[in-house]
Amino acid sequence: MVRPPGLLDNDGYLGQQMMRADVIGARYFYFDHATRDDRPLRPGLGFDGRIDLLAPDQATGVLDNVEAIARQTRVNGFINMRVDDDGVLRRMPLLVTYHGVMHASLSLAAAMRVLGASSARVTSGRDGLSLRIGQREVPVDASGYALLRFNGPSIHYGSIPAVEVLAGRVQAASLRGKVVFIGSSAAGLNDLHVTAVDHNFSGLKLQSVLAQNILDGRMLRVPVWGGMVALVTGGLLACLLGWLFVSGRSLALLAAVSLSVAALLLALATAAFLHAGMVIPVAVPLLVLGLLQVLCIVTRQVFYRRHAQRWRQQLENARQVTIESMSAVAETRDPETGAHIKRTQNYVRAIARQLQRTGRYLDILTEEYIQLLFLSAPLHDIGKVGVPDHILLKPGPLTDEEWVTMRKHAEFGRRIILSAADRIEGDNFLIIAGEIAATHHEKWDGSGYPLGLQGTAIPLSGRIMAVTDIYDALINRRCYKEPFPHAQSMAMMRELRGKTFDPEVLDAFCAIESEIQDIADRFRDEDVAAS
């Protein structure tokens, strides 16, 4: 079989048919390397007007059709695309400069063909730059890019497989009067792009999206004044929220204002998008709102925390002043009480921490409890203010009747402290002080006073205080006795283990014997004034 001469050159035949159908050719520009120009490129379309305001991408090389096709296509358009920094394609270039000549994209060239225009004018208006094609305006930015306006994912844009056309299964009437882009959408050709509506949008369909946007007059624009409006709006919102915060308004009000303003901004931006094709940059004002709201919450919480810390410190100071004032009453009655109070206060804390370290009474011995124990210990003998001086200060042994009166100081102390505690609401630090005053003379075997409590029926605070009170009385001079040596005092106390003292509390006391001696040396009776 002999083929007709026209079919011997397939490229030439294709070029001839493209010329007869007035098909727009395609080319691809390079920006990273130069190519050799064997022939001049024919843009086929002209651009004038405020070209000086445009700064399109400048190509350094080109991949054009073969000579047999290129010389027979009067108009060509480039198919370059560029994704944003986050990898998403949101806009496409309409114009590229090559060797000082401006070239149109394939979609722009196709739209101009449909509109019967061979040239376009660059104009500058209130909202920014535009390409005027006849009576139609196509918004562009200073680089000649246009935003894409999608009607949906790529499936919403029709396509026909080439095999269907070649097999004659597509009616010519279904294509008549339409703009048809011919190309490939195979994944292996690396022409699939991530967009805001679809992660696999072929370059071929993206060309049709932009052409449809131009022909439908539904282009999107980011107005040149949008950035300034966003900046001013953000500044005004910062001033508003700052004023509300400084004036002491509640966080709920600040949140309500922020949400209302955010809703208003989103509503205005949505309305501008739907009715005017304007993309108003509201991200900056919304970001300002969000950051300021978080900043207000954090700052207010820091302020509240510092205020609470100051209040707690003031409360702690008030506690200490109350305890010291009540302790001072006892000191005025019994001059031997001052150093005794300081020593026993430190003994109590040391024993409590030793018990805590060895895992004893962990449900009770929290850091807060130990601190309250330390603060409350000075009040253990507050009841002595109710004991007559001739008994309290008697230089010799007490009679049985005098002992009855002396022992009442535990009950006196409980009443004094609980009388004050009844007037304090909430977490009452005097409760522990009342326990100590009432029970520090109780004994583990139940032979103590005033109630004869036994074992764990005695509050832990009272059991700890009993050890420290008796030890300190043994090693120091009293009006009725001389001091015992430390070693003898420790031996005497060990003999009372399980009788007078809680075994675990006494064991903890003995385990920190050196620390106890250090406390005793630090707060000697003769050093009270200096300490």
Task: Supply the pLDDT for residue 454.
Answer: 95
At a CB cut-off of 8 Å and minimum separation 6, what does 438 contact? 410, 411, 413, 414, 450, 451, 462
Indicate whether 173 pLDDT > 90: no
Indicate whether 277 pLDDT > 90: no
- Closest by CA to 51, choosing from 113, 4, 119, is 119
- What 3-state DSSP class applies to 201? strand
User: What is the per-residue burial (b if ≥16 Cβ within 10 Å, else e) of 59-82?
Assistant: beebebbeeebbebbebbbbbbbe
- What 3-state DSSP class applies to 401? helix
For the chain, give the percent of residues with pLDDT over 90. 29
Indicate whether 448 pLDDT > 90: yes
**Cα end-to-end distance, the chain, whole Å:** 125
Residues 418-437 have pLDDT tens digits of 887 777 665 566 788 889 99
Indicate whether 30 pLDDT > 70: yes
Residues 65-82 have pLDDT tens digits of 887 787 777 888 898 998
CA dihedral 487→489→491→494, nearest 10 degrees, is: -140
| Structure-block tokens of residue 255 | 């949140």
Task: Supply the pLDDT for residue 490.
Answer: 94
Fold adopted by 334-527? Hypothetical protein af1432 (1.10.3210)
- The mean pLDDT value of the chain amounts to 85
pLDDT band at residue 338 using 50, 70 and 90 as cut-offs: low
- Closest by CA to 470, choosing from 493, 488, 487, 447, is 493
Q: 192-193 and 145-147 as β-strands: parallel, antiparallel, unpaired?
A: unpaired
Distances (CA, A) of 87 to 57, 84, 97, 247, 317: 19, 5, 24, 45, 61
Contact 59, 110 (CB under 8 A): no
Task: Supply the pLDDT for residue 331.
Answer: 61
The mean per-residue pLDDT over the stretch 10-34 comes to: 83
0.75 surpassed by pTM: no
Q: What are the sequence ranges of the domains in the chain?
A: 5-216, 226-305, 334-527
Residues 349-370 have pLDDT tens digits of 999 999 999 999 999 999 989 9
The mean per-residue pLDDT over the stretch 235-248 comes to: 83
Spatial separation of the C-alpha atoms in residues 141 and 134, rounded to whole Å? 19
pLDDT band at residue 301 using 50, 70 and 90 as cut-offs: confident
Residues 183-233 have pLDDT tens digits of 876 655 678 889 988 888 888 889 899 999 999 888 888 888 888 888 888
Task: Supply the pLDDT for residue 304.
Answer: 86
Tokens 């727009």: give the residue. 24
CB count in 10 Å sphere of residue 423: 8
In this predicted model, which residue has the larger pLDDT, 321 or 273?
Answer: 273
In this predicted model, which residue has the larger pLDDT, 333 or 42?
Answer: 42
- What 3-state DSSP class applies to 343? helix
CA dihedral 482→486→492→498, nearest 10 degrees, is: 130
Highest mean pLDDT among 147-156, 164-173, 450-459: 450-459
pLDDT band at residue 258 using 50, 70 and 90 as cut-offs: confident
The mean per-residue pLDDT over the stretch 498-514 comes to: 95
Task: Supply the pLDDT for residue 475.
Answer: 92
- Closest by CA to 528, choosing from 470, 490, 476, 485, is 476
Indicate whether 64 pLDDT > 90: no
Indicate whether 531 pLDDT > 70: no
Q: What are phi and psi of 130, to 5 degrees?
A: -145, 155
- What 3-state DSSP class applies to 235? helix
